[in-house]
Amino acid sequence: MQRTQTSPDRGRAALGPALALIHSGAAPTRSVLTSALGVTRATAGAITNELEALGLITVDARPAGGTRGRPSHRLAVDPSGPVVAAAQIHADGFTVALAGLGGRLAEPVDLPMPDDPGPARVLAAVVREAVRQAGADHRRCVGLGLAVPTPVALPDRTAVAAMYLDWPSGARIGEELERAAAEAGLRVPVELANDANLAALAEHRHGAGRGARHLLYITSGHRGVGGALVVDGRLHTGSAGLALEVGQLTVDPNGRRCPCGSIGCLDVEADPPALLAAAGREADPARTMVDQARAVLADAAAGDARAQAAIDHVVDRLGLGIAGVINILNPDRIVLGAFHSALLAAAPERLPQVVARRSHWGRCGEVPIVPAALARPELAGAAELAWAPVLADPLEALGGPAHPPRAAGAP
C-alpha cells in the first residue's frame, strides 16, 4: 500500500528547522514560528511540545504581553538543556568552553600549547579539556566542535596550509580528532573546520550578520587574513572546502613577501604585523602581535601622526582586497573581525571610500561594512558546528523519541 506522509512525519521533519529558528532568536513566539514554518497552529504546537519534551526549549504558556494582535506562547532555549564543547586552536594555544543552544558560551578556558605542538598531541589536549569541562557540568554534553587556523580540505578533512602552526600540510586532522576522542572515551560526534568559516557562521546566526543573505566575513587573528561567505544561511565551501581564501589576493605588487611564496598578499598587507611594519616598529617576540597592533591604534587615537599614517596605509590595502571580493561575490553585508573592526573605527570614512572607489557594486550599491558583534566568534562557530547534528534532526541526535502529546501505550 502506498503510504502518504502523515502529519506526525511532517512534524518530525520540521523539528530541526523549528529548533534552528528558536536557536537563532528568529522565532521568539509560537505565532512567529508558525508562520515561519508555514504550518498550522496545531502542528506548531506539537513541534514545540516535542522540543520541550526533549529538554531543548521552554514554552511559556503565559501570552506575551504588550503586543498587538493575538497573544502567543513565548519560546526560548532551555538553560538546563544539553550543551556542546566548543574549542579553538590558535597560534598561541587553545581555548575550550561549554556552550548551550542560543549561542550561549560559558566562561572560556585558555591553555598553552603542549610541549609537542604536533596535531596528535594538540588535539588530544583539546579533547582532555573538553572531557574535563563536560564532566564538571550537570548538563548532558552532546558534541564537540573545533575551530582550526588552517583551511581544511574536504572530504578527507586534511590541514592544507597551517602556516602559523607548524603542522605538516596534508595532516588528516579530522581522523586525528576522532581518534583522540575515542581514546578519551568521549562518545559523542566530534567535528572540526576552518576558524574563519565558523566565525562567519556564528556572526550570521547570532551576531552582526543576522538577516544578511550574502554575508562576506573578513578577519585577521595574530597573523594572516581569512574570509568566508554565508549564502542563505549556509557556508559557501567551494568544491573542496577551500573557497574564500581571500588572504592570497594581491593588493600591492611591490609589497611584503608572503609565506605562500607570492608578494603583497592581503595576508601580509592587512594583518597586525603589517600595521607594525607600516608604523616603523620592530615586533617584540615577548608580546602578542594583537597587543602591539593595539598600541599603534591607541597612539593614533592620541594624535600620533605616524601611527595614523600606518593605519591609513593598511586600510587602503584592506579596502582594495574587500573591493576585489565585492566585485566577484556581490554580498549584501560585510562583517569585519576584531582587528579589522578596530581599523574601521580608526578610519571610519577612509575604508568605505576606498571600497566604493575600487568596486563597481560598492559604488552603486553601498554595501554596509560593519564590525563583528560576538566576543569570541570562532569559539561560537565551533559550538554551531557541534550543534549541527541536533539542528538537523533533534530526535535522531538525542536518541528520542519522547512524543509527550501521545497517550501512554499508543503506537
Interface ranges with Zn ion (CB under 5 A): 248, 258, 260, 262, 265, 267
State in angstroms the smallest separation of the CB of 11 from Zn ion: 50
Output 265 or 335, the one with its CB closest to Zn ion.
265
Q: Which among 218, 92, 80, 89 has a CA at the least distance from the CA of 144?
A: 89
- Calculate the alpha carbon distances from 389 to 6, 17, 130, 190, 273 in Å: 24, 12, 18, 10, 39
Give the H/E segment covering residue 70. none
CB 379 within 8 A of CB 187: no
State in angstroms the smallest separation of the CB of 271 from Zn ion: 11
Q: Which three cell numbers stand for residue 220?
A: 585577521
Q: Which three cell numbers stand for residue 330?
A: 556581490
Q: Tell how far CA 402 is from the center of its chain.
A: 31
Output 46 or 159, the one with its CB closest to Zn ion.
159
Q: How do 109-112 and 93-100 pair as beta strands?
A: antiparallel
- Calculate the alpha carbon distances from 307 to 66, 149, 251, 255, 267 in Å: 51, 29, 21, 19, 20
State in angstroms the smallest separation of the CB of 181 from Zn ion: 34
- Calculate the alpha carbon distances from 408 to 53, 71, 405, 411 in Å: 14, 31, 9, 9
Output 126 or 268, the one with its CB closest to Zn ion.
268
Backbone angles phi, psi at 215, to 5 degrees: -95, 120
Output 98 or 320, the one with its CB closest to Zn ion.
320
State in angstroms the smallest separation of the CB of 239 from Zn ion: 21
State in angstroms the smallest separation of the CB of 265 from Zn ion: 3
Q: Tell how far CA 92 is from the center of its chain.
A: 19
State in angstroms the smallest separation of the CB of 169 from Zn ion: 15
Output 53 or 263, the one with its CB closest to Zn ion.
263
CB 167 within 8 A of CB 161: no
Q: Tell how far CA 246 is from the center of its chain.
A: 17
Q: Which among 93, 112, 84 has a CA at the least distance from the CA of 23?
A: 84
Beta partners for residue 158, in sequence order: 153
Output 196 or 382, the one with its CB closest to Zn ion.
196
Output 22 or 268, the one with its CB closest to Zn ion.
268
State in angstroms the smallest separation of the CB of 268 from Zn ion: 7
CB 74 within 8 A of CB 29: yes
CB 217 within 8 A of CB 200: yes
State in angstroms the smallest separation of the CB of 309 from Zn ion: 24
Backbone angles phi, psi at 109, to 5 degrees: -110, 120
Output 237 or 250, the one with its CB closest to Zn ion.
250
Output 174 or 321, the one with its CB closest to Zn ion.
321
Helix, strand, or coil (residue 124): helix
Output 111 or 260, the one with its CB closest to Zn ion.
260
State in angstroms the smallest separation of the CB of 5 from Zn ion: 51
State in angstroms the smallest separation of the CB of 250 from Zn ion: 8
